[in-house]
Amino acid sequence: MTRSILPPTVVNRHGRAAVQSPTTLVLGFIPVFTFGLGYWQIKRLKWKLSLIEELEDKLQMEPMRLPRKVNLGALDDFAFRLVEVDGQFDYSRPIFVGPRVREGALGYHLVLPLVRPEGHGDALLVNRGFVAETQLEGTGSNRRLKNMPTEKDVQKQTKVLALLPRVYPPNAFTPPNKPEKNEWFHANANEMASFYTGQQQQPEQVVIPVYLEEIFAGNAGEAAARISAGAPVGRAPTIELRNQHAVYAATWFSLSAATSVMFGLLVRRAR
């Protein structure tokens, strides 16, 4: 058995110094900190699962009809509900939001005013979906679809099934919209409604800031055919939310366990 040649008081002093060193103290804090992060991710997981269940329940409800007078202040209460609305699309004033990418193709989201029948309320904003850049011509205010609908088709009353989304602010990397140049990088219902209404000296049809996303329920083959034909492809009738909280929680708890073992071994060696 090997004995230290130093007095016990010296050995204990060195042991306490090792335990109280900045490295040891930091290593002792990491397990507590990472465990707290893991617990927080568990709480986020419960919240996300509850939100997904709520949104799925909303999608199962019957599509609602918008009233003639829309209470703009109450729109958030109906976010992620399906909506049915009738009207005529105004192709003379398209908004192209983007660029966007779908199935490897570069393009834009086409937003049009939907003019409701007389007596049924003001016009709304409808995002009709993705249009490939190869199916567009012109730039800025002159950008148009190459294959415009015929006058007969435009005059038809259309029944639209759409989703009332919750539009979130853009991130720091998204450029601001430039309505004066008809350049749009993100959806903003207030800016778009002002853009349309402000273009008319005496607006015959007011466009209100109600923003809908048209539903496309077809398969991938049908979507590809529409893109090739220059027709817009709307969003799927589902809501997909990233839910990685369980993975994050497992990562933090594993890190907490590993650093706890390391801290225990370090303290044991210092004694």
- Lowest average pLDDT, out of 9-18, 47-56, 169-178, goes to 9-18
pTM of the model: 0.75
Mean pLDDT of the chain: 86
Interval 168-197: pLDDT, tens: 889 999 999 999 999 999 999 999 999 998
Separation in Å, CA 229 to CA 110, 138, 143, 233: 15, 18, 17, 11
**What pLDDT score does 162 carry?**
96
DSSP string, the chain: ----SS-HHHHHHHHHHHHTSHHHHHHHHHHHHHHHHHHHHHHHHHHHHHHHHHHHHHHHSPPEEPPSS--GGGGGGGTTEEEEEEEEE-TTS-EEEEEEEETTEEEEEEEEEEEPPTTS--EEEEEEEEEEGGGEES-GGG-EESSPPPHHHHHS-EEEEEEE--PPPP-TTSPPPBGGGTBBSS--HHHHHHHHHHT-SS-SSPEEEEEEEEB----HHHHHHHHHHT--B-B-SS------HHHHHHHHHHHHHHHHHHHHHHHHHH-
Q: What is the CA radius of gyration of the chain?
A: 29
* % of the chain surpassing 90 pLDDT: 49
pLDDT over 50 at 139, yes or no: yes
